[in-house]
C-alpha cells in the first residue's frame, strides 16, 4: 500500500506540490486571523467607529476604578431620576490620572475602557439581573495608586502649575501622579468648552506623562552616565576650574545665578550642579556614542507604558556643533523631557540599572471579586550597567549630603537625587524647579520626580515637595 501511494505521489509531484502550497497558505491564514484577533481585541473595541462599544455600554453598568487600598476613585451611580452618573469621590485629586469618560476619554478611564464596559459577572447574577431588568455590573479596575501619597503630592504643589510622579523602582507601580492645574471630572461636560478654549494653561494635559520641559540640570545625570561610560577608570580623576562661565564659538554658558565654583572634581561638579564644568565635560564626549546612549535611555521614542505619554526629544550626533553641545550638556536648548521619563531613568539608577515598565492598572476583578486579569511587574530591560548605576547613585547621594538638595539631609531615611533649575522662555532668570530622586538610598523603595513651573531653583522649591512625599511614604 505504501509503495502504491509513493508511486502515485511521484507521478503527480506537481499536484502534490500545489496541495501542500495551499494547505500551508491556509495554515498561515488561520494563524494570522487568530493572532490578529487576539492581539487587537482591546484596541479595536475602543475605536469610535466600532458600534459594539455602544451595545456593551447599554448592557453593562460601567465598572468602578479603585485605588490600591480599595478606595473608590470613580463609580457609576443612579441619580434620583434613575439616570446614570459617573461619580468621582475625590473630585479634582485624580483628575488627570483617572481621567474622565464623557466628552471623549482620558487616563485610566480611557486605558481600561475595555475592562470597564465588559462584565464578567457570574452567570447566576446575570440571570437574576435579566429577570429584574437591570444592567450587569461592569468589571472593577484596581489601580496601583495610593490615595494618601496623591493627596500629599497635590497639596504640596499647592497653587503652582507642575507635576509629580511617584513610583516603585523595583516593580514599576505608579503610586501617585499629579498634574496641576487640575479640574473636576464630574463637571467635565459643563467646563468642556472653557477647557479646550484655554490654550494658555492647557489644563487637560497630563503634565506628568505628557508635559515636555527642558530638563535643566537634572540632565547632568545623563551627562555623568555618558562620561563614566567613556572614561570608566579615569572619571574620578576629572578636574576643572570654574570661573563662572565658559565660551565656545561665541556661545557662553554661565553657572546658575552667576555662581563661581572654583576648582571642582567630577563628584563636586555634579553635587554643586556646575554648568561650566558640565559644558566642558559635554565637549569632551564622543557625540555619536552619546546619541546612542540617549536613544537607549528612551529619548526620541514612545515610552513603553500603556497610558498616554509624549516623546522626549534630544538630538546629538557627529554633526552637533560645539555651541549646541554645550546647551545640551546643561539640559537647555531644544532638549525636552517628560517628568515620567526622568522618573523612569531615576528608577533604573535606583534598581541596579534595570527599568521596570511603569504601570497603573494592577488587576481587574468581576462583581464576585474574582480576578479577571492581573498585570504583573514587567521588566523593560537594562538602561545601564550595575556599576554605572552604583556610581550615579553615589553622585546623587552627595547632592543630598553636600550639594543642592541639602534640605533632604539628616532625615530618618537617606535620600538621593538631583535638582534642576531649567530656564525657559526669553526672560533670563525664570526657571522651572526640578527634583528627581529616591529613598532609602541603600535599598530604594520609592522614586519621586517633581517639577514646578516657573518657581525658581529646584533646591529651594522642588526638594521640599519631594521631602513631604518621602515623609508621607515612610510615615514620619
Partner 1 sequence: MELYVSEFSKYVIALLITLYTYECFAVFRYDEEEQRNGIYTRQNLLMFALHFSCFLVICFETGDITYLFFYAFQQIVLYAVIVLYRMLYPGSNRLVVNNMCMLLAIGFCILTRLDMNKAIKQFIIASGSLVIALVIPFFIHKFKFLKKLKWVYVLVGIAALSVVMILGQTTYGSKLSYSIAGITFQPSEFVKILFVFYVASALYESSGFFEVFTTAVAAGAHVIVLVISKDLGSALIFFIVYVLMVFVATKNYFYLLAGILGGSGAAYIAYRVFTHVQVRVQAWRDPWSVIDSAGYQITQSLFAISSGGWFGLGLCKGTPEAIPFVEADFIFSAIAEEFGILFAVCLILICVSCFIMFMNISVRLNDKFYQLTAFGLGVTYIFQVFLTIGGGTKFIPLTGVTLPFISYGGSSVLTTLVMFAVIEGLYMIRLDEKEQMRLARVEKAKKKKKRSAPKRRLQRISEAAWEENEGTDTEYPAGDMIEDEE
Exposed/middle/buried for residue 197 (C-beta within 10 Å: 0-12, 13-18, 19+): exposed
For residue 14, state whether it binds partner 1 (rule: CB under 8 A). yes
- Sheet of strand 371-374, all strands in order from the earlier edge strand to the far edge: 84-87, 72-78, 65-66, 140-143, 361-365, 371-374
Q: Does 412 bind partner 1 (CB under 8 A)?
A: no
Binding flag, residue 77, partner 1 (CB under 8 A): no
Residue 39 or 201: the one with the smaller Cβ distance to partner 1 is: 39
Q: Which of 127, 196, 321, 368 is the binder for partner 1 (CB under 8 A)? A: 127
CB 32 → partner 1: shortest distance, Å?
6
Based on CB atoms, which residue is closest to partner 1, 7 or 252? Answer: 7
> Minimum distance from CB of 18 to partner 1 (Å)?
6
Direct distance between the N- and C-terminal alpha carbons of the chain, in angstroms, rounded to an integer: 85
Query: Pick from 58, 123, 159, 263: which binds partner 1 (CB under 8 A)?
Result: 123
We find the least distance from the C-beta atom of residue 107 to partner 1, in angstroms, to be 23
CB of 366 to partner 1, least distance (A): 15
Residue given cell 497653587 in the structure block = 159
Q: Are 416 and 433 in contact (CB under 8 A)?
A: no
Taking the complex as a whole, the smallest distance from the CB of residue 135 to partner 1 amounts, in Å, to 14
Report how far residue 368's alpha carbon sits from residue 433's, in angstroms, rounded to the nearest whole number: 47
> Is the CB of 55 or the CB of 189 nearer to partner 1?
55
Question: Which of 8, 260 has the CB closer to partner 1?
Answer: 8
Nearer to partner 1, 75 or 125 (CB): 125
Contact pick of 23, 241, 334, 370 for partner 1 (by CB under 8 A): 23
For position 18 contacting partner 1 by CB under 8 A, the verdict is yes
Are the C-beta atoms of residues 161 and 204 closer than 8 Å to each other?
A: no
Task: Read off the DSSP letter of residue 313.
Answer: B
CA distance 63 to 331: 43
Beta strands in 33-123 (DSSP E): 60-61, 65-66, 72-78, 84-87
Q: Which CB, 56 or 147, lies closer to partner 1? A: 56
H/E stretch holding 344 reads helix 339-350
Q: x-or-dash pattern for partner 1, window 32-71, by CB under 8 A?
A: xxx-xxx-xx--xx-x-xxxx--x----------------
Q: Measured from the CB atom, is 33 or 321 closer to partner 1?
A: 33
**Cβ of residue 378: shortest distance to partner 1, in angstroms?**
23
Residue written as grid cell 526638594: 463
Looking only at Cα atoms, what is the longest distance across the chain? 96
The answer to whether 126 contacts partner 1 (rule: CB under 8 A) is yes
Does 1 engage in binding with partner 1 (CB under 8 A)? yes
> If you write DSSP's letter for every residue of 244-270 in order, what string do you get?
SEEEETTEEEE-GGG---EEEEHHHHH
Least gap, CB of 106 to partner 1 (angstroms):
21
The grid cell for 356 is 521596570
Closer Cβ to partner 1, 28 or 158, answer by number: 28
* Per CB under 8 A, 9 contacts partner 1: yes
Judged by CB under 8 A, the number of residues near partner 1 is 41
Question: Nearest-CA neighbor of 396 among 267, 296, 297, 281?
Answer: 267
- Candidates 7, 257, 371, 409: give the one binding partner 1 (CB under 8 A): 7
Task: Give least dist CB 59 to partner 1, A.
Answer: 10
Query: Would you state the cell numbers that stand for residue 474, as one nine-digit string?
Result: 515612610
CB of 112 to partner 1, least distance (A): 18
Count of other CB atoms within 10 angstroms of residue 330: 30
Binders of partner 1 in range 265-324 (CB under 8 A): none
Q: Which residues contact 16 (CB under 8 A, 6 or more apart)?
A: 9
Contact between 4 and partner 1 by CB under 8 A: the answer reads yes
Q: Residue 322: which residues within 8 A CB-CB, separation 6 or more?
A: 248, 249, 251, 283
Q: Which listed residue (69, 130, 190, 301) binds partner 1 by CB under 8 A? A: 130
Q: Is residue 448 a contact partner of residue 147, using CB atoms and an 8 Å limit?
A: no
Which of 1, 159 has the CB closer to partner 1?
1
Q: Which is nearer to partner 1, 120 or 273 (CB)?
A: 120
Instruction: Tell me how long the chain is.
Output: 476
Q: Are 103 and 188 in contact (CB under 8 A)?
A: yes
| C-alpha–C-alpha distance, residues 184 and 91, integer Å | 5
Q: Which residues bind partner 1 (CB under 8 A)?
A: 1, 3-5, 7-9, 11-16, 18-19, 22-23, 25-26, 29-30, 32-34, 36-38, 40-41, 44-45, 47, 49-52, 55, 123, 126-127, 130
Amino acid at each position: 500500500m505504501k509503495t502504491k501511494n509513493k508511486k502515485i505521489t511521484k507521478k503527480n509531484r506537481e499536484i502534490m506540490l500545489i496541495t501542500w502550497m495551499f494547505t500551508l497558505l491556509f495554515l498561515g491564514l488561520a494563524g494570522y486571523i487568530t493572532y490578529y484577533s487576539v492581539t487587537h481585541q482591546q484596541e479595536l473595541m475602543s475605536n469610535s467607529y466600532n458600534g459594539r462599544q455602544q451595545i456593551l455600554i447599554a448592557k453593562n453598568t460601567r465598572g468602578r476604578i479603585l485605588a490600591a487600598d480599595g478606595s473608590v476613585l470613580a463609580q457609576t451611580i443612579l441619580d434620583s431620576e434613575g439616570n446614570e452618573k459617573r461619580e468621582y469621590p475625590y473630585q479634582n485629586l485624580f483628575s488627570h490620572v483617572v481621567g474622565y469618560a464623557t466628552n471623549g476619554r482620558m487616563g485610566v478611564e480611557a486605558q481600561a475602557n475595555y475592562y470597564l464596559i465588559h462584565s464578567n459577572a457570574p452567570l447566576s447574577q446575570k440571570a437574576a439581573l435579566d429577570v429584574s431588568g437591570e444592567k450587569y455590573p461592569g468589571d472593577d479596575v484596581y489601580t496601583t495608586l495610593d490615595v494618601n501619597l496623591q493627596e500629599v503630592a497635590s497639596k504640596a504643589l499647592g497653587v503652582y502649575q507642575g507635576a509629580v510622579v511617584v513610583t516603585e523602582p523595583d516593580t514599576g507601580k505608579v503610586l501617585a501622579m499629579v498634574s496641576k492645574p487640575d479640574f473636576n471630572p464630574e463637571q467635565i461636560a459643563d467646563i468642556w468648552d472653557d477647557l479646550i478654549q484655554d490654550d494658555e494653561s492647557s489644563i487637560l494635559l497630563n503634565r506628568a506623562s505628557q508635559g515636555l520641559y527642558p530638563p535643566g540640570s537634572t540632565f547632568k545625570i545623563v551627562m555623568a552616565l555618558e562620561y563614566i561610560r567613556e572614561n570608566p577608570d579615569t572619571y574620578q580623576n576629572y578636574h576643572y576650574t570654574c570661573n563662572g562661565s565658559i565660551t565656545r564659538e561665541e556661545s557662553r554658558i554661565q553657572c546658575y545665578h552667576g555662581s563661581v565654583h572654583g576648582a571642582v572634581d567630577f563628584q563636586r561638579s555634579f553635587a554643586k550642579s556646575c554648568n561650566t564644568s558640565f559644558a566642558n565635560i559635554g565637549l569632551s564626549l564622543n557625540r555619536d556614542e552619546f546619541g546612542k546612549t540617549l536613544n537607549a535611555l528612551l529619548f526620541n521614542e514612545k515610552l513603553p507604558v500603556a497610558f498616554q505619554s509624549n516623546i522626549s526629544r534630544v538630538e546629538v550626533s557627529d554633526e552637533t556643533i560645539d555651541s549646541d553641545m554645550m546647551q545640551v550638556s546643561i539640559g537647555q536648548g531644544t532638549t525636552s523631557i517628560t517628568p515620567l521619563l526622568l522618573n523612569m531613568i531615576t528608577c533604573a539608577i535606583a534598581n541596579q540599572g534595570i527599568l521596570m515598565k511603569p504601570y497603573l492598572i494592577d488587576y481587574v476583578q468581576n462583581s464576585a471579586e474574582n480576578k479577571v486579569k492581573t498585570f504583573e511587574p514587567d521588566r523593560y530591560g537594562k538602561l545601564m550597567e550595575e556599576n554605572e548605576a552604583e556610581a550615579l547613585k553615589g553622585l546623587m547621594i552627595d547632592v543630598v549630603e553636600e550639594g543642592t538638595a541639602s534640605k533632604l539631609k539628616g532625615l530618618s531615611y537617606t535620600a538621593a537625587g538631583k535638582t534642576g533649575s531649567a530656564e525657559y522662555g526669553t526672560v533670563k532668570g525664570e526657571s522651572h524647579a526640578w527634583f528627581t530622586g529616591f529613598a532609602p538610598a541603600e535599598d530604594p523603595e520609592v522614586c519621586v520626580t517633581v517639577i514646578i513651573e516657573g518657581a525658581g531653583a529646584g533646591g529651594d522649591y522642588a526638594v521640599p515637595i519631594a521631602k513631604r512625599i518621602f515623609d508621607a511614604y515612610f510615615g514620619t
